[in-house]
Amino acid sequence: MGEQAPDGTEEQAKAAKSKPVKAVPGAASGAASATAGGKDAKNTAPRTAKKVTSAKVTSAKTAAKKMTPAKKAAAKAVAKTDDEKAVGKTAAKKSVGKTGSKKAVGTAGSKKAASDEASAGKAASVRPVAAPPRNESHTALVRRARRINRELAEVYPYAHPELDFENPFQLIVATVLSAQTTDLRVNQTTPALFARYPTPEDLAEADPEAVEEILRPTGFFRAKTKSVIGLSKALRDDFGGEVPGRLEDLVKLPGVGRKTAFVVLGNAFGRPGITVDTHFQRLVRRWRWTAETEPDKIEKAVGSLFPKSDWTMLSHHVIFHGRRICHARKPACGACPIAPLCPAYGEGETDPEKAKKLLKYEKGGFPGQRLNPPQAYLDAGGRPAPPLGAG
What is the pLDDT averaged over residues 63-78?
44
Per-residue confidence (pLDDT) for residue 243, from 0 to 100:
98
Position 54 pLDDT exceeds 50:
no
SS (H, E, C) 247-284: HHHHCCCCCCCHHHHHHHHHHHCCCCCCCCCHHHHHHH
- What is the residue type of 60? A
Band of residue 133 on the pLDDT scale cut at 50, 70, 90? low
Given 164, 259, 310, 363, the catalytic residue: 259
Mean pLDDT of the chain: 78
Mean pLDDT of 355-377: 97
Candidates 277, 351, 354, 356; catalytic one: 277
Question: What is the pLDDT confidence band of residue 303, given thresholds at 50, 70 and 90?
Answer: very high
* Terminal Cα distance for the chain, rounded: 164
Considering just the CA atoms, what is the radius of gyration of the chain in Å? Answer: 55
Question: Between residues 26 and 209, which one has the greater pLDDT?
Answer: 209
For residues 192-210, one letter each, b for 16 or more C-beta atoms within 10 angstroms of the residue's C-beta and e for the rest, the string is ebbeebeebeebbebeeee
Whether 98 has a pLDDT exceeding 90, the answer reads no
Please, are residues 360 and 366 in contact by the beta-carbon 8 Å criterion?
Answer: yes
Q: Is 259 a catalytic residue?
A: yes
pLDDT of residue 134: 73
pLDDT band for position 234 (cuts 50, 70, 90)? very high
User: 121 falls in which pLDDT band (50, 70, 90)?
Assistant: very low
Judged against a pLDDT cut of 50, whether residue 337 lies above it is answered with yes
> Which of 143, 162, 181, 152 lies closest to 325, judged by CA?
152
CA distances, 190 to each of 7, 122, 206, 214, 223 (Å): 168, 48, 15, 8, 16
- Examine the residue annotation and report whether 277 is marked as an active-site residue of this protein: yes
Given a contact cutoff of 8 angstroms between Cβ atoms, the answer to whether 337 and 155 are in contact is yes
Amino acid occupying residue 115: S
The rounded distance, in Å, linking the Cα atoms of 338 and 342 is 6
Q: With a cut of 90, say whether residue 272 has pLDDT above it.
A: yes
Q: Has residue 242 got a pLDDT over 80?
A: yes
DSSP H stretches of helix in the chain:
9-18, 25-66, 69-125, 138-155, 168-177, 183-196, 200-204, 208-215, 221-238, 247-250, 258-268, 278-286, 295-303, 311-324, 352-356, 375-379
Res 135 pLDDT > 60? yes
- Whole-angstrom distance, CA of residue 318 vs CA of residue 12: 150
Closest CA to 178 of 384, 323, 376: 323
Indicate the angle between helix axes 278-286 and 311-324, nearest 10 degrees: 90
Task: Summarize the confidence of residues 209-225 as an average pLDDT.
Answer: 97
pLDDT of amino acid 389: 82
